[in-house]
Structures are given as structure tokens and as C-alpha cells.
A and B are shown apart, each in its own frame.
Chain A
Amino acid sequence: MSVPRSIQPPTVVIVEDETQIARFVALALEGEGMVSHAAGSVRDGLIAVGTRQPDLVILDLGLPDGDGVTLISELRAFSDVPVLVLSARSQEGDKVAALDAGADDYLTKPFGVAELMARVRVLLRRHARQDADSRDGRITIGNVEVDLVAREVQRGGEALHLTPIEYRLLSVLIRHAGKVLTHRQLLLEVWGPAYVEHSHYLRIYMGHLRQKLETDPAQPRHLLTETGVGYRLVL
């Protein structure tokens, strides 16, 4: 089953009650040769995901018969398909809830086709790569090279000193590269469940990491801040 998947065009389920939005998203996807299926409610969305075995789910958070976040939680019970959430700005709380529930990324409305497709490609690639890439164990972030097996970090060919916490933070980000990680998720993975409210730890250590990894820490290119939501590592 896994071999033909890479040959077959990727399948995307769009869960969006606004048909106009669903339509242009579908247009954009099909323009790239993907197959899309639209669903207009939480119920239909779940059925579509269950029956179509999609490679990606694009989900609007405001649906007529319920909250998109509940759909994610239910979906995560049986599938690890990547989920891209569509939401309005000023709904950071909803985005965080969706990401904590298991969404992979979000896109703020309104968005352009180019933005959409960039995210879609990243998610599809990340998903496909998950098995293959992590065995290699070598990741390149700008001019920084991380050897996950040897636990070595080099910048411009020179060894870079990271403290254990910094290294743990970086490795968590690498493991989820391209995905938005909420503050809560990062604190939980790096510091443990007792520290999920201590977001200032995260800010301080993220600052340290940027100082060490970024060329211009004030305008980072890899360790990106998703204001009000979390962080994302862009390789």
C-alpha cells in the first residue's frame, strides 16, 4: 500500500462550510494535480476522512454543527493525517486549542493561493519524509548542521556549544520541523508537565537558541515566532 501512495496524486479533504472558500481551495489544489473532497460539517468531515484516507485535511475552525477542534480530537483517535487549520486572526486561543488538539499548522484568513500551497506542500512532504529522513540523523538549519545521532551541533564547520536544555529544545523543534508547536507543547516536551505555565523559560531559551543559530536574531529566518501561538522551525 505504501508504494503506490507516492505515485498516486495526494488526496486532500477540505472541511469548510463556506462553499466559495472551499471552491477556490479545491481549485488551487487541483491546479497542482491533487485530488480534493469537500465536506461542509464536522460530521461529514469525519466521514470523509474515514472513507477517503486523505494525505491532508484542510479544516475551517468555525463549522455549523460544532467546533473544528472537536473534529481534530476525534480524528486523532484513528489517524495521524496532517491537519491544516484555517482561522481568522484574533482567534489565537482557537488556534492554540486546535494545535494542542493535534493540528499541524494553521493559516490565517484571508490567505493567498501561494501561501496555501506552500503550507500544503510542507505538510505533505513532512508526512512522507517522516520515516525516511529521521534515520539519516543530520539536519541543516541555515549554516548550522545538527547531528542528531552524535548530538553534535556545528555552525560554519565549527563546534557550537549548546546547553542540555537548549539542545533538547532544538531537537524537539527539529523533530516537528515545519509544524507550529504551541508554548504548552514545547514546555511539556522539554521541561515536563510541571512547567507548562512557565512560558518565560521558553522565551529565554528560545532567545539563547536564536543568538546561537540565527544570523540576525531580531529577524530570524528559521526559529520563527508565531505570535500568541507558539514557535515553528523552518528548515
Chain B
Amino acid sequence: MPSDQRPDPDLLLAELQADEARAQRGHLKIFFGANAGVGKTYAMLTQARAQAAQGVDVVAGLVETHGRAETQAMLDGLSVLPRRAMPHQGRTLFEFDLDAALARAPGLLLVDELAHSNVAGSRHPKRWQDIDELLAAGIDVYTTVNVQHLESLNDVVGQLTGVRVRETVPDHVFDAADDVVLVDLPPDELLGRLAEGKVYLAEAASRAREYFFRKSNLIALRELALRRTAERVDAERRASGVVTTEGRVMVVLAPMAQPDRLVRHAARLAGRFKTGWFAVLVESPLLARDAAMQARLFAALKFAGSLGAETATLPGRDVAATLVAYASEHDVGTVIVGASPRRWRPGLAERLLALAPGIAVQTVRVAAAPARWLPRFGRRSGGVLAAIAGCAVSSALLVPLATLLALPNVVMLYLVSVLLVSIRFGRIAGATSALLSVAAFDFFFVPPRLSFNVSDTQYLLTFVVMLGVALTISQLSARLRFQADAATRRERRTAALYELSQALSAALTHEQVVDIALAQLAPRIDADVGLALPSRDEVLSHVGGGPVDLAVADWVFRHGQPAGRGTGTLPAAPAYYLPLAAPVRVRGVLALTPRGDWQPGPEHERFLSTCAAQIALALERVHFVEVAQEALVSMQGEQLRNNLLSTISHDLRTPLTVLHGLASTLVAQPALGEIPQSLAAQLVDETARMNELVANLLDMARLQSGEVRLRRDWQSVEEVVGGTVRAMGGRLSAHALKVDLPAGLPLVEFDAVLIERVLVNLLDNAAKYTPPGSTITLGASAPPGSLLLTVADDGPGLPSGQEESLFAKFSRGAAEGNTGGVGLGLALCRAIVHAHGGTIAAANAGGAVFTVRLPRRPPPTLPDPFQNDPPPEPV
């Protein structure tokens, strides 16, 4: 809403007036530090001297040098205001003389220790009030303060460090200051200074050191100071309406001695800003020629990656422009560059600032890279020899024609040879060729010929121009060549990736993916490529290509991160291991065992990880295709099995149904006579038994075919028992059935139809193996975590020792005998109970006792409306 941001006119007016007042008022600059000893006073004096040098009337109102020579030296040349002697508790203290300062009315007054409390009897109890008066009088003031003296942070500091300072400054004084300069010193360096005795401590130094100067305290204080400064800057920025790129941090890695230091600095800064950060390396021809530096920078880049940076190598001729483009693309607000003391052209920082004024550029002083001006001769000798040869050949060709050719044409032809040599052999050879050509031209063609003497001084100009042109040609053509090379390299990688993805897209099986990956990768990398893929049970195995250490590969597979050579994990491994990370999960591991001293650089790594991702994607695709196929096959299999079973079921049952129906029709015909009727009744019974058998056989077949789909549901035990008793029908008519169910049995989750089958079979069994008149008890109980169903009888019991074998298929209690049944019943019971994750056991206890134990979890609760089902209307 733009209208909301339009400034209020009244506010603007008030601001204008405040500005006027401020213009008359003195300016306050606060040198702000985390701690004593960071160098606030020193920094203040440094700036004061700079002001004095520009002609400002600088007076040191009160500067605590703590007797340090360096600081004392900084005071030299500044006029110092004499202190005022104040009697205090029988002693004389020398305090800041406010009146003298006001009378002196300097342009800039230095007053150390903003938080100082004045001695009783002074005009103001606090020094900040003195300074306020000075500012009101139009005097600019420089002062210093530590973070623990800020009122709002006083108790935070107290809690953090255990040391509470009594002297505090109200925050508004800090916030109203025109400038706050943060004087920052890393805790390690501070501790170092402390150890060297460079820090003045008012209290007993050892105690303070123990309590206050612990590194953790120093870090915390530093963070507080930085944050407080950031808040101020933030507020200032908002007030001034300046919009800067509130952004991320980018560190630029360029040839330097200790790139890691720069990376650490950037990581800290990013941490403090709580933003993401980038580490970038600009590939340049200069860098391409220095393999050692390149390796060092790649290592730094990797280090940055390990600290959480997003890393990139950027191709580009113009380093600054490339960086600025990258920075603006990635919302970078702060760029960190290393600056080494130099020299004749503007540093990277200046160029960045010139290109993108909105970006903050931090320069960190680093040692310059050891210069490598002279190439090693061995590597370049080929190029130099070529230059000599080129020059010799052109001279040999041109000398016979010396009389025919005008000298300018000879120059032109020499330049052609320089051009050819530089294109083919690079800059050094080109430059050599340029020099040689000029020399040869002078020697062979410029009169007096066959001497380096020159008769006409005009030729000197010719030489200079020729040399200049030749060198330029060699530079330009070499640069062209570098760019062409870089482009070709990139082109080749892109083409390789394209080919890989093309080839992989055709793969239909894991094996094909493996073959294609190996065939595509191996010729492009100077390493043996090995692949390890997980089996179904998540165990990695080597599936092709070069050697794979499965222990390392397993780590990579589990963690999804590269490991092995050149990484932070298991670096002793001979190979570099890359996870094949697909969107869903890691699909395998790629192992690269370098041949020779090949080391994967960042650009290479990116190429490899892209390849790995492609392979992983292909594996995932293949995997899902296989899963889909398997599902289809198993669905079809199940369908087939179900069809088969229901066909058998239908074919077996139809004649049974007819038999049963017709027999029962006969039973219902009283006219038939008693004997035929009883025969018919027997027919009915036998058919029913046959049906039971068929039912058990079919159920067994279903359970055995695997993948029985239990229709688990929350069931009431009473209902299932009731259903069982009803299903038994007349089969228990000769026995006494006792149902023993405790009240309040919980609901239990199971397949009611199948559990009913179990109970029917157990009751049937009991009825079969006990004499008529026996009592059969069907009981249930629900101990925690399980449901027990028992069928007990008071019959002869089980043959001892056979309690377990009873449950085997086709076994019967009495080996011989005429009791019907095939002994499939108990086997079926066991299969059903096992499918539910339960157990079934048989025992003798005054008869046979069968106990079914089913697992039980707490039943679902009814939501309140039903629990508190209100009573019906009064009747």
C-alpha cells in the first residue's frame, strides 16, 4: 500500500525542526566495543588525529591511556585539557573539567568512558550528562563505551558473565548519537592481548580474567555489541528511508594465501546476520594456469560448503561484473573480498562498489598469493620451442624474398606467424614469438641487414609498434583460445549429460541402468567407476564397474552424503563415493577410484553429482516400474487364485446343496414311511458333515495361498460366541454346552467370520472326542494385551505328548477309530489364529483344554455425544 508509506507532513515539519536543532548541536560519535581492551581509545585517537590533520581544532578532554605507550603516542600533537582536581573522601581525584572544556570550545573534544560516574560534587552525577551539555553548546564529541554499560543490556551482561557493572548509560544517549563506530576484535586476539598485558584492567586482573575474560563471555559480549550496533543501524536505515539490499552474504574466492580465513569470516558474518551465504570462485585464465592455487581455492570452496555455504564457480572474463550479476540474482547484500596491499589498478572491492552501489563490500586484509610470474620452463618449453621454430620458419621463408617484399609486408607476415603460434600454443609462446619476430625482422631485413644495428631511427618506431601489435595479438588470441577451451569444456559436459540422460531414459531394468551409467561415465572421467545398489533387504552389493568398498558405500547410502577421498568423511578411502540421491530416497552409491592423481574439483563434482542424480532418477523410475509390474502380477495372481477357489467352491457345493436339499425334501415327506425318512435324515447329516469338511478344506486352501486378507473389525466377543453357538446348531445336542463369559469384555479387533470358524471347529472337535453327555465349556477372558478364548471339556483328554502335533494337518487324536473328521480342523484353527498374530495351545486339565490367545489393543473410545447418551424423555 504505497499510500501508507507517504510521509506525514506534520512529521516532516517536526523532523525539519529537529534537523535544525541538530545542526546547531554538536555531533556525538561513540566508539563502541564489546569489552575493555578491544582498542576503542586507540580507534578514537586515530580518527581524532585524522580530523586534526584536516584542520579541526581537536582537544583531548579526557583520554585514559592506562599508561600504554602506543596510546600515549597517539596523543602527541593533540592539545590536552588539564584535569580538574577534586577532593574525594580524603583523596584527590583528577576529573574531567567540564567548565574548562566549555570555555575552550574546541571543534572536537575527546572524552573517554561515556559511562563514567562523576565524583560527588561535580555538576552532573554522570559523564554522559557532561557530554550532553557539551553537545548542546555546539561542541562535537568523541567518546567510548563498552556494551555492558548500556542500561538495557546491563542485566543480560550480568547474567551472561556473572559480573554486574554499576556504571550505566541510558540507551537513548547511545541511540541519539550521530555516529556509532563499532570497534571489534575477535575474542582470541583479545585474549592474546590480555596475555601480553596490553589490556588495562581496573580490578584485580587475575580475578577479572577468571570471571570476565572467559572466551565464552567474550563471544557473548561481542555478539551483544554487534547486535546492538546492527539494531541501531537498522533503526537509522528505517528512519532515513534508505533501502539497501537486506541480503545474504557472499564471499569471493580469488587467488590469495589463506582463503580459509576469508571463508570463516563470511560464515561468522552470515551466522550473525542469520542469513544464507554463498562462496563463489570466478574461473579466470589466470587461475586456470595455476594448478596449486586452483586446488587451494577448490578446497576453500569445499570448506565453505561444509560450513553451510552454497558454492558456485562462475565463468567469466570480467570478474566484478560476473560477481555483481550473481549477487543481484541471489539477493546478496554483503560481499566479502580479500584485499591484499597493492598496486597500480583498482582492487576488486572498488570495482564491485562502482558496479553495484547498493551492495556492501567488506574487505578483509589477507596476504597476497605468492606471485607466479615466471612459468615453469618445463611445461612451457613446448610452446617456446614452437615460437622459436615458427620464427625460424617464417624467417627462412621470407629471407629469400627479402628483395621482392616491401618491409611493411614482411612485418605483416611475421605478425601472421605470431598469431598462429599464440592460437596454437598460448600466451607465453605468443609473447616469445613476438619478441623473436621483432629481433628476426631487425636482423634479417632492416638495413644494415644481418645485424641488429639500425641505420634509420624510423625503424625503432616500427619495432615498437610491431612488438606492441604482436604482443596484443598474442594476448588476445590466447584469451580467445582460453575462452574457446572453457566453452568447449562446458559444451562437452552438457553434451555428456545430455547423452547420459538420453541413454538412461531408454533403460527398462536396473541392469540396463547400471550398464549405461558405467558405459557413459567411464570414458569421461579419469577414474574407475563402480556402482553399488541395495538389494530388497537394503543391503548394498557391488553391481558393476570398478572396485567399491561396501563399508564406505554403506555409510554414503545411509547418510546420503558423499564420502571417501577428498571429502571430510573417511578421506583415507581410495575412492570418492557419491550417493545416487533420487527424489524419494537414495538409490545406490557411485564409487570413483581415480587413476593417477585425479582430484574432483567443484566443477567436476557438480558434473558428477548431476550424473549421479540422473542415474538415481533412472533407477527410481525403473524401480517404480518394477513395483507397478509386481503389483499387477500379484493382483492378477490373487485374482486367479480367488477365481479358482470360488469355482472349486461352487462346483463342490452345488452337488452338496442339491443332495442336502433333496434329502431334506424327503425328510419332510411323512408319507414315505419311517425307515426311508430316517435314511434321508442320515443323508442330511452326512451332507452337512461333508459340507463342513469342504468348508475347512477351502478355508485352509485360502489361508495357505498366502495373503489372506483378514477383515479385522472391532468385535464383541459375546456376539461371536453367540454366532458360534447358533452355527453349531444341532451338533451339540448330545452335549451340555456351558458358555462362561465375564461381563464387560472389551471389544477386540479380529476377523469375526474366521474366529467363529475357530470356535466352531474347537466345539465340533470337543463334541466328536467326548462321550455324549459331557460338558463343554466355552469361556473367554481379557487379561491386559490379549484375549483368551478357551474350549474345555470333561472328556478323556488328549493323548499325552501329542498336544502340539495335534495341530499338524491331517492328524487325529485317536489314530484309529470311527470318529469322523480328517483332523484338518485344528490345523485350520492354528492357521487362522496365526494369521491374527495369536497362538493356540492344547492341554489336559480334567479333559482337553484348547486355549486361543489373540493380541488385543485398547478399543477405540466412543466420542462424548454417544458416551453420554442422555436418558429418553420420561415415560
Contact = CB atoms under 8 A, between A and B. Distances in A.
A90 B753 contact: yes
Given A203-B714, A227-B723, A110 B659 contact: yes
B166 interface: no
A65 interface: no
Contact of A28 (B650, B665, B688, B714): B665
A235 interface: no
A89 B695 contact: yes
B866 A201 contact: yes
A111 B660 contact: yes
Contacts of A92: 711, 753
A164 B684 CA distance: 46
Given A88-B653, A227-B753, A112 B721 contact: no
Interface stretch (B108-116, B125-133, B253-261, B867-875): B867-875
B875 A203 contact: no
B871 A161 contact: yes
Contacts of B862: 200-201, 204
A162 B871 CA distance: 7
A112 B715 contact: no
A151 B747 contact: no
Interface in B839-875: 859-860, 862, 866, 869-873, 875
Given A218-B741, A225-B723, A109 B653 contact: yes
Most buried by A among B688, B699, B862: B862
Interface residues of B, number: 55
Most buried by A among B659, B667, B718, B870: B718
B739 A219 contact: yes
Interface string B160-199: 0000000000000000000000000000000000000000
Given A114-B668, A165-B869, A224-B726, A24 B721 contact: no
Interface string B685-721: 0011001000100110010000000010111101111
Given A24-B665, A110-B691, A200 B859 contact: yes
B836 to A, nearest CB: 15
Nearest to B755: A227
A151 B873 contact: yes
Contacts of A188: none
Interface string A188-229: 000000000001110110110010000001111000111110
Contacts of A166: 869
Nearest to A25: B661
A88 B756 contact: no
A227 B756 contact: yes
Contacts of B714: 199-200, 203
Contacts of B711: 92-93, 228
B657 A109 contact: yes
A113 interface: yes
Contacts of B753: 90, 92, 227-228
Contacts of A114: 664, 667-668
Given A110-B687, A227-B752, A219 B722 contact: yes
Given A110-B660, A228-B753, A203 B747 contact: yes
Contacts of A21: 654, 657-658, 661
B649 A20 contact: no
Nearest to B727: A227
A166 B684 CA distance: 41
A225 B723 CA distance: 6
A159 B725 CA distance: 31
B385 interface: no
A152 interface: yes
B747 A163 contact: no
B396 interface: no
A92 B741 CA distance: 26
B660 A161 contact: no
A200 B752 contact: no
Contacts of B650: 62, 88
A218 B653 contact: no
B269 interface: no
Contacts of B662: 24
Most buried by A among B660, B668, B722, B752: B722
B153 interface: no
A77 interface: no
Interface in A1-50: 18, 20-21, 24-25, 27-28, 31
B665 A113 contact: yes
Interface string A146-166: 000011100000010111111
A106 interface: no
B657 A112 contact: no
Contact of A161 (B661, B695, B872): B872
A112 B869 contact: no
Most buried by A among B656, B657, B702: B657
Contacts of A91: 646
Interface string A71-101: 0000000000000000011111100000000
A218 B719 CA distance: 7
A59 to B, nearest CB: 15
B646 to A, nearest CB: 8
A228 B711 CA distance: 9
B665 A203 contact: no
A151 B875 contact: yes
Nearest to A19: B658
A95 to B, nearest CB: 11
Contacts of A28: 661, 665, 668
B746 to A, nearest CB: 10
B665 A27 contact: yes
B699 A111 contact: no
30 contacts: A21-B657, A21-B661, A24-B658, A24-B665, A28-B668, A88-B650, A90-B698, A90-B699, A90-B702, A109-B653, A110-B659, A111-B660, A112-B661, A113-B668, A151-B873, A159-B875, A161-B871, A164-B869, A164-B871, A164-B872, A166-B869, A199-B714, A200-B714, A201-B862, A204-B747, A217-B718, A218-B739, A226-B723, A227-B720, A227-B723
Interface of B: 646, 649-650, 653-662, 664-665, 667-668, 684, 687-688, 691, 695, 698-699, 702, 711, 713-716, 718-723, 725-727, 739, 741, 747, 752-753, 756, 859-860, 862, 866, 869-873, 875
Interface of A: 18, 20-21, 24-25, 27-28, 31, 62, 88-93, 109-114, 116, 150-152, 159, 161-167, 199-201, 203-204, 206-207, 210, 217-220, 224-228
Query: What are the 8 A-B residue pairs with the smallest beta carbon separation, nearest first?
Result: A112-B664, A110-B660, A200-B714, A228-B753, A110-B657, A163-B869, A227-B723, A24-B661
